[in-house]
Amino acid sequence: MSENERGVTRRKFIRIAALASAGAALTPSVLGAPEEQAKDGQAKPAAPPAPSPQPPSSARAKVVLVRDKAAVDANGVLNAAVLARMLDEAVCTLAGSGKPAEAWHQFFGPKDAVGIKTNVWKFLATPPEVEEILKKRIAACGIPGGSIRVTDRAARTDLAPCTALLNVRPVRTHHWAGVGGCVKNYIMFVEDPSAYHPDSCADLGAIWNLPIVKGKTRLNVLLALTPQFYGRGPHSFDPRYVWNYGGMLVSKDPVAVDALGAELLRLKRLEFFGEDRPVTPSIHVQMADTRHGVGVGDLKRIDLVRIGWEEKVLL
């Protein structure tokens, strides 16, 4: 190869490398990411650009799975006394305390303004029995019962002044996000939830870093009393794909409970169908870990403690 040919090769290499570097620097908005239409018909940008990926973490999360065969009867009726005992056992195990009152006090105190973020989806809502139990346990921590706020759809306004949050909802398959769990439950804290729908709701974890909620969540309760393990289409509900599991996943880490919740649904599909039927991938759970640093999404880094009924536990 002549000296001139080598020079051309070097120039080509430098030019290609420069173009590649410039292309990598382009954000989705620069590349022409689709815009959504506001209610007034004016175009508005999609959700803010995602932060850079978080460095690999060795952090671990502790999750308590508590189950009781008597939590739900054959007709789907909940046993409030059993549910209260399950919640106390889970919180005691999580806190490392043998006394429920002391355990709950590790999460809430008299100086807290507490909000309970629920879920009101008509087919599988946070049960009123669970809401009442949680209000009583929080009130027993020295917080006046009348000042404990409980809502789903009005979270952005009603729960904004709260200094401490308890996040509780049932786990189910979800058309846009793959799994409806604790991470997704905070979507009502933003003005435009649909802005977080692209890419299978990949950036739901970004909501957890907004000032309105960041650092406020003391406890996450992912209810698996009667989970829905399969569904296709928006707002899909089919009683054939709901079963009495009689469980709850409780943790300080919302990502960890969702990772286990998604795995529970996947294992149930395998058991029920003999194969894993396709559903929307729940990539937002892993992204909440690796991109947004909200919690632990790697099952290998989750310490699962099982309490109670072991039959067909799956996890």
**CA dist list (Å): 266 to 174, 177, 187, 201, 315:** 13, 14, 23, 19, 10
What is the rounded average pLDDT of the residues 202-228? 98
31 located within any domain = no
Could you give the CA distance from residue 259 to residue 298 in angstroms, rounded to a whole number? 7
Overall domain count for the chain: 1
pLDDT in tens, 180-194: 999 999 999 999 999
Q: Which amino acid, 151? A: T
Query: H or E element: which one contains 234?
Result: none
How many CB atoms are located within 10 Å of the residue 158 CB? 15
Reported as a pLDDT band with limits 50, 70 and 90, residue 43 is: very low
How many CB atoms are located within 10 Å of the residue 2 CB? 7
What is the rounded average pLDDT of the residues 129-158? 96
140 located within any domain = yes
Quote the mean pLDDT of the chain: 87
For a pLDDT cut of 70, what percent of the chain falls above it? 82
6 located within any domain = no
What is the rounded average pLDDT of the residues 134-147? 94
Domain that holds residue 97: 59-308
pLDDT in tens, 47-95: 555 565 666 678 999 999 999 999 999 999 999 999 999 999 999 999 9
> CA angle at residue 77 from 71 to 78, to 5 degrees?
35
**CA dist list (Å): 222 to 66, 240, 262, 315:** 11, 21, 11, 14
Q: Which of 224, 215, 243, 216 is nearest to 180 (CA)?
A: 224
Reported as a pLDDT band with limits 50, 70 and 90, residue 291 is: very high
186 located within any domain = yes
50 located within any domain = no
182 located within any domain = yes
Are the C-beta atoms of 213 and 296 separated by less than 8 Å? Answer: no
45 located within any domain = no
Q: Which of 56, 254, 241 is nearest to 165 (CA)?
A: 254
Given a cut of 70, whether residue 304 has pLDDT beyond it is yes
- Strand segments, DSSP code E, in the chain are 36-37, 43-44, 61-67, 114-117, 149-151, 164-174, 178-180, 217-228, 247-251, 302-308
pLDDT in tens, 8-19: 444 443 343 443
123 located within any domain = yes
Q: Which of 45, 31, 46 is nearest to 197 (CA)?
A: 46
> CA angle at residue 182 from 68 to 83, to 5 degrees?
25
Question: Using CB atoms within 10 A of its CB, is residue 155 exposed (0-12), middle (13-18) or buried (19+)?
Answer: buried
